[in-house]
Amino acid sequence: MIDDPQQTLPLQQAAQAAQTAQTQTAQVPQPSHNQLFLYSTTVSDVGTVRANNQDSSFAGEHLVAICDGMGGHAGGDTASTIAIRSLAHIERDDHEKDVSTIATMMETSVMAAHDAIVGKARHERKLSGMGTTVTAVALVDDYWVLAHIGDSRAYLLRDGALCQVSQDHSYVQHLINTGRITEQEAKNHPQRNVVMRVLGDFDIDPHPDIAVLKAHPADRWLLCSDGLCGVLENSTIAETMMSMSNLTDCAQHLVSMALRAGSTDNVTAVIADATLALDVHAFDLPHQTPLVGGAASSSLEPIADIVNESVAAAPALRDEGSPAQRAAALMQSANPRKDDEEDKPKLAHPSAAREEESTLSTPDTGEIPIVQKADGALSSDPNDPQVAKAIEVKQEKDRKTAHKHKRNVRIIVLIAVLALLLVGGGAGYATYRWSQTRYYVGDADGKVAIFQGVPTNIFGIKLSHEVERTSLNTSDLPQTWRDELGEGITRDNIEEARAHVKYLQNENRKLQKSKDSDTTGSTKDSSSSSKSTTGTKSTSDSKSTTKDSKDTKTSSSNDSGKSEDQS
């Protein structure tokens, strides 16, 4: 038996000590009114920096737990939720209340959570690298059983003294244990958030520390994530836990103080009190609905099925604010809002309770319903009058449901078609209205014309019409201009369109003058060339005639000489 919370034992030694204590207790009968009961609460807040809450917590009558997830946006919350679900079965009342058994169950549950996290990470690549811390405490036979791995913490307040029962599995704690740094230096160490042992997709030892210690009346536990203990001094935590007797107020205040102190992480606190019952056989012992906080509270039904009782989402963090804000909150509470239903905590019932809401259920025998008769017996015999009546009622209900479904489908389709038509018609009308603010210059039956609209059509509907036609023939224009007119030369308004037409007319006149000038010059050059050729030819002919005359004369002279010689 261990009375000092600083003296904890490994699993085997703790189990032996507990068994010895139980044997001694059996030899010396103890009054039944010495049995302890656990009452707890939890508060979890996403904080001021993180986008999502990766912490998960559980606060029940037999088990309290805190899990701080890690591993990216989608991983940490999944890992911490898996761990809470793996531990939740310890809350059930049907377990054998034996310290050794519960201690073994807690260790096995933590290892099962590790295997589940690793398996899910291997099947879903986006969850690769996820992990979580686990710090859990169970009350059994007036003993505390602690399971711990990671850097979340378990504090025990006893007789006015606060003791950290768990030991951080972190790098800075390793440095402290080896004497390299002091606890004060660890608070500001750059690697203070590096953990050396956690559950998850890592190649590290996933076995948790298991410890057992004797429970005392008025023991108060605080389980918290490092978002709280990383920014609050132990003295501040101790003062708050001693001064605030109400569980919920204490948890709320601790989380609020951590956020005001500048915590950049998710902040979660679980407060649990050991209370001595005056009469354990009384029927009016207060019962607490287990609370689930953080990421695990997003889906309560699986946990309700595991613990086989209703569970509720933990209350949200209250904004303590200034005195004026608190006064305003009191005034608002005096005048309830219409949406107060949204502020009520979520509650989930186990599957068995949900099924009991109806006397009819869907059986394995097809369409034949199972009926619970007046004597409590169940029957699915179609010849039984009550079963036959139930079949008739079920068929009528199914027929109405199918008819209602078809009608709803038709209405939805009709609404969708009308919406599309309205959207399409509105868009078409808006497009047409816009097009009529535009103008372009184009070709209208071989003439240059001005059009209002845009040179296109939608579903065969032209978005333009002719407003002015000029006498300028498109055939008189260069081919490149005709191509542009065929596509439409857009302008913002009719004045700009007219200006462009005027430009085309001026340029066309210049082009025509240039063509006429080139034609006149070509004619003059041809006439001059003709005259020059004629003159040259006359001169040449004259020279040729003169030469021929000279040749004739020379020939006559030569002939005359020859005649004289012959004489």
Are residue 123 and residue 178 in the same domain, yes or no? Answer: yes
Are the beta carbons of 84 and 295 closer than 8 angstroms? Answer: no
CB atoms within 10 A of CB 237: 23
Q: What is the pLDDT of residues 162-192, one digit of tens each?
A: 999 999 998 988 898 888 888 778 877 877 7
Q: Which is nearest to 253 in space by CA: 114, 45, 24?
A: 45
Are residue 231 and residue 133 in the same domain, yes or no? Answer: yes
Per-residue pLDDT band for 483 (boundaries 50, 70, 90) equals confident
The helix or strand, by DSSP H or E, that contains position 81, with its residue range, turns out to be helix 76-87
Is it the case that residue 473 has pLDDT exceeding 50?
yes
| CATH (domain of 134) | 3.60.40.10
Are the beta carbons of 212 and 156 closer than 8 angstroms? Answer: no
How many Å apart are CA 82 and CA 136, to the nearest integer?
14
Are residue 500 and residue 444 in the same domain, yes or no? Answer: yes
Does the CA dihedral 432-434-436-440 come out positive or negative?
negative
Question: What pLDDT sits at residue 61?
Answer: 94
Confirm whether 326 is domain-assigned.
no
Confirm whether 50 is domain-assigned.
yes
Specify the higher pLDDT residue, 386 or 218: 218
Last residue of a domain, one of 372, 400, 434: 434
Q: Residue 209 corresponds to which tokens in the numbers above?
A: 């520390």
Last residue of a domain, one of 310, 337, 355: 355
Confirm whether 26 is domain-assigned.
yes
Question: What pLDDT sits at residue 360?
Answer: 42
Per-residue pLDDT band for 421 (boundaries 50, 70, 90) equals confident
The total of structural domains in the chain comes to 3
Are residue 42 and residue 72 in the same domain, yes or no? Answer: yes
The parent domain of residue 443 ranges over 439-521
Confirm whether 6 is domain-assigned.
no
Are residue 103 and residue 214 in the same domain, yes or no? Answer: yes
Question: What pLDDT sits at residue 355?
Answer: 64
Is it the case that residue 228 has pLDDT exceeding 60?
yes
Are residue 387 and residue 460 in the same domain, yes or no? Answer: no
Q: What is the pLDDT of residues 63-119, one digit of tens each?
A: 999 999 997 656 899 999 999 999 999 999 776 678 999 999 999 999 999 999 999
Specify the higher pLDDT residue, 485 or 146: 146
Question: What pLDDT sits at residue 109?
Answer: 96
Are residue 430 and residue 460 in the same domain, yes or no? Answer: no
Specify the higher pLDDT residue, 366 or 428: 428
Question: What pLDDT sits at residue 43?
Answer: 98
Question: What pLDDT sits at residue 382?
Answer: 55
Does the CA dihedral 242-243-245-246 come out positive or negative?
negative
**3-class DSSP state of 458:** strand
Lowest model confidence (mean pLDDT) among 147-156, 306-315, 361-370: 361-370
Q: Are strands 63-70 and 134-140 parallel, antiparallel or unpaired?
A: antiparallel
Write down the mean pLDDT value for the chain: 78
Is it the case that residue 312 has pLDDT exceeding 70?
yes
Does the CA dihedral 126-228-272-312 come out positive or negative?
negative
Provide the percentage of residues in the chain whose pLDDT is more than 90.
Answer: 38
Overall average pLDDT of the 404-419 stretch:
79
Cα 377 to Cα 208, 357, 392: the distances in Å are 48, 17, 20
Supply the pTM of this predicted model. 0.58
Confirm whether 547 is domain-assigned.
no
Question: What pLDDT sits at residue 366?
Answer: 41
Are residue 306 and residue 398 in the same domain, yes or no? Answer: no
Confirm whether 258 is domain-assigned.
yes
Per-residue pLDDT band for 436 (boundaries 50, 70, 90) equals confident
